[in-house]
């Protein structure tokens, strides 16, 4: 497996742990607000091979207590389960970021106890899901299956939405809240523009809007919060 990025230490990406973050290339969504757009088509150059990463993790035992895996969409990597086995064998808990489009692969990782924490992106309300994901169509049955799978998994998980002023409005969060009702945790994070974002003229909502959206979703998911505000 080729590694397309490595953040050697983070206190943010794996809640409650000092972790490193591993980036894989390739994604089957085309979200216009994506911060890692250079990883979407998988053409970004790899920064290291798997063995080099495993050597790094071996040396960091005692300094790190978790490995967060993101992308791109990590579940597109066919060797991901075997990679996670190697990381778990070294004693590291694993967190996975996913878009939820591959519930069968997610289920395998959970069933085989290869992940300890999953963060699943919820792009928008069902009616606006494809538009927000930058696709002509999204199979919402797959998204629903991943949501249900996490709710019943017994592992730690969260749902999260990157909120973009041009893509989200108040009624979307009423619908998302009902969709995720009873979830363990849900976070709203405001869009932040960067040089790597493909689409221009996207903006973060005001703090007041974010607080209003949070008030709405808390009616359905009490453990909801703003992140990065």
Token pair 């997610």 is found at: 106
Q: What pLDDT digit, counting tens, does each position of 65-110 carry?
A: 999 999 999 999 999 999 999 999 999 999 999 999 999 999 999 9
Total number of domains in the chain:
1
Longest distance between any two alpha carbons in the chain, whole Å: 49
Pinpoint the alpha helices (H) of the chain. Answer: 50-59, 80-89, 103-111, 129-133, 140-151, 170-179, 207-217
CATH of the domain at 143: 3.20.20.70
**Residues of the chain with pLDDT > 70: what percent?**
100
Q: What is the pLDDT of residue 23?
A: 96
Q: Mean pLDDT of all residues in the chain?
A: 95
Kindly indicate the confidence band of residue 42, based on its pLDDT and cuts at 50, 70 and 90: low
Distance CA(94)–CA(91), nearest Å, equals 10
The residue range of the domain holding 222 is: 2-227
pLDDT over 90 (residue 35): no
pLDDT over 80 (residue 198): no
Q: What pLDDT digit, counting tens, does each position of 148-180 carry?
A: 999 999 999 999 999 999 999 999 999 999 999
Distance CA(1)–CA(32), nearest Å, equals 27
């Amino acid at each position: 497996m080729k590694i397309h990025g490595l953040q050697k230490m983070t206190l943010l990406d794996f809640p409650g742990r000092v972790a490193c973050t591993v980036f894989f290339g390739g994604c089957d969504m085309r979200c216009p607000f994506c911060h890692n757009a250079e990883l979407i088509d998988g053409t970004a150059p790899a920064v290291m091979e798997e063995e080099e990463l495993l050597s790094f993790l071996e040396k960091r035992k005692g300094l790190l207590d978790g490995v967060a895996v993101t992308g791109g969409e990590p579940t597109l990597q066919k060797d991901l389960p075997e990679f996670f086995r190697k990381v778990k064998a070294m004693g590291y808990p694993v967190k996975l970021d996913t878009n939820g489009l591959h519930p069968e692969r997610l289920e395998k990782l959970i069933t085989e106890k290869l992940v300890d924490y999953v963060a699943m992106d919820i792009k928008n309300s069902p009616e606006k899901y494809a538009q927000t994901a930058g696709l002509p169509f999204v199979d919402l049955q797959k998204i629903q299956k991943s949501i249900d799978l996490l709710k019943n998994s017994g592992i730690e998980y969260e749902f999260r939405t990157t909120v973009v002023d041009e893509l989200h409005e108040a009624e979307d969060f009423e619908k998302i809240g009902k969709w995720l009702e009873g979830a363990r945790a849900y976070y709203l994070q405001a869009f932040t523009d960067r040089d790597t974002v493909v689409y221009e003229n996207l903006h973060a909502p005001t703090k007041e809007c974010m607080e209003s959206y949070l008030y709405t979703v808390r009616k359905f998911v009490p453990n909801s919060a703003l992140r990065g505000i």
